[in-house]
Amino acid sequence: MASPSVLVRAAHYYPKNTHKIIGGHCTGRGMQYPLKWLANTFDNKRLAAFRECLSFTALFGPATIQWRLTIQTDGALLTLVVTPNNKLTMERENLMRYEAPTTTKQAATLLAQEPGVACILAGGTDLLVKMKMDMVEPDLVVDIKRIPAMQAISASAAGAKIGAAVSGATLNSHKALKKSWPGVVEAVNLIGSDQVQGRCTMVGNLCNASPAADSVPAMIAAGAKAIIVGKDKRRTVAVEKIVTGPGQTSLAKDEVIESITLPKRPAKSGDAYLRFTPRTEMDIAVVSAGVNLTLERGVIKTARVVLGAVAPTAVLVPAAAKAIVGSKLDEAALEKLAAACAAACNPIDDKRGTIEYRTKVAGVLAVRTAKIAFQRAGGSL
């Protein structure tokens, strides 16, 4: 039998007994024994029986030959080698699990229960790229596309609700949304190519937390809110509170965004989003701007101005909104708007744009975006 210290090490090495054994074999004495045969020595095909494997292996050969036991579970590939002299080595290679729950609560529970790295999969246009580049190695991938609430777009007295798994292409074919929030829909539609549009989501764009994410400034300008579901509670949070830095969000481990809400539009409202890229397609913003405003008798009554790609997160610029509220977007107001936007910039300096360049373009782009939003609201310039 294996020595007590070997058993203790094995238990430490693989303390969980929740994973099912789905394959494996044992080699020794020049033979390979399939797991079906080995399984007779296991209690219930679960890794609580790992100790029995050790006993089994030790029974067969510690004195003279090397035994190698390979067990594939639904969570890991385990290799146990017992050499002569009862020397034990163990290797564990994690295998990625894939789950596709049908309710948001199930998704949150899966996230909460995973002791390793768990990732939510929406369209996968960021996640799968990162996995291929070994930037992230999930133990568990939770695909949210089979959750009906995440695929729905609905309207209520409070506004519109867009499920977190709704793709850019689906959003673009929604006439009512395009009419009420053209800036938001345009921003989502700038993401990638037609192929990317078929998969990408605005929530994935948000949670990937890139400072240059296209849909985020437009969502923040719109006053969008995220409905977040955790294992035990739901909460609603303004979109600008979700991203805390590049690649970082304020979501807890068990939290998933179920949907985004856009408020009901007052009459005479308009929004717009523009980005500046060196190429016309398939590029990320060097600077971007989202503006949302409402008019009263031709004068701007309320406004929200947001910049993207000029700071670690999208920046809501209240001073820029203040510069145009009360105006008919005359030259003086536009100059103040540009100055307020330039003052709010804290960009990086890289080959795609220097700090000075980004700061200058932010003002210019905000002015152009405000003009489009103003005209969409019925204002004339």
Q: Where does this chain bind ligand FAD (CB under 6 A)?
A: 119-127, 129, 144, 164, 190-192, 196, 199-201, 203-205, 207-208, 213-214, 251, 256-257, 282, 284
Q: Considering the complex, state which of residue 176 and residue 282 has its C-beta at the smaller distance from ligand FAD.
A: 282
Q: Considering the complex, state which of residue 11 and residue 196 has its C-beta at the smaller distance from ligand FAD.
A: 196
CB 143 → ligand FAD: shortest distance, Å?
A: 9
Q: Which amino acid is at 21?
A: I
Residues with Cβ < 8 Å from 306, sequence gap 6 or more? 216, 217, 218, 220, 221, 240, 289, 290, 291, 314, 315, 316, 317
Contact 46, 19 (CB under 8 A): yes
CB 346 → ligand FAD: shortest distance, Å?
A: 19
**Residue whose beta carbon is closest to ligand FAD:** 204
Q: Considering the complex, state which of residue 76 and residue 140 has its C-beta at the smaller distance from ligand FAD.
A: 140
Query: How far is residue 314 from each of residues 123, 215, 220, 229, 334, measured CA to CA in Å?
Result: 22, 10, 8, 23, 21
d(CA 375, CA 381): 7
Task: Write phi, then psi, for 362 (nearest 5 degrees).
Answer: -60, -45
CB 340 → ligand FAD: shortest distance, Å?
A: 24
Beta strands 76-83 and 87-94 are: antiparallel
CB 258 → ligand FAD: shortest distance, Å?
A: 7
Q: Considering the complex, state which of residue 38 and residue 213 has its C-beta at the smaller distance from ligand FAD.
A: 213
Q: Considering the complex, state which of residue 48 and residue 100 has its C-beta at the smaller distance from ligand FAD.
A: 100
CB 165 → ligand FAD: shortest distance, Å?
A: 7
Task: Write phi, then psi, for 369 (nearest 5 degrees).
Answer: -65, -40
CB 65 → ligand FAD: shortest distance, Å?
A: 47
Q: Report which of 189, 186, 218 is spatially closest to residue 201, judged by C-alpha positions.
A: 189
Q: Considering the complex, state which of residue 81 and residue 131 has its C-beta at the smaller distance from ligand FAD.
A: 131
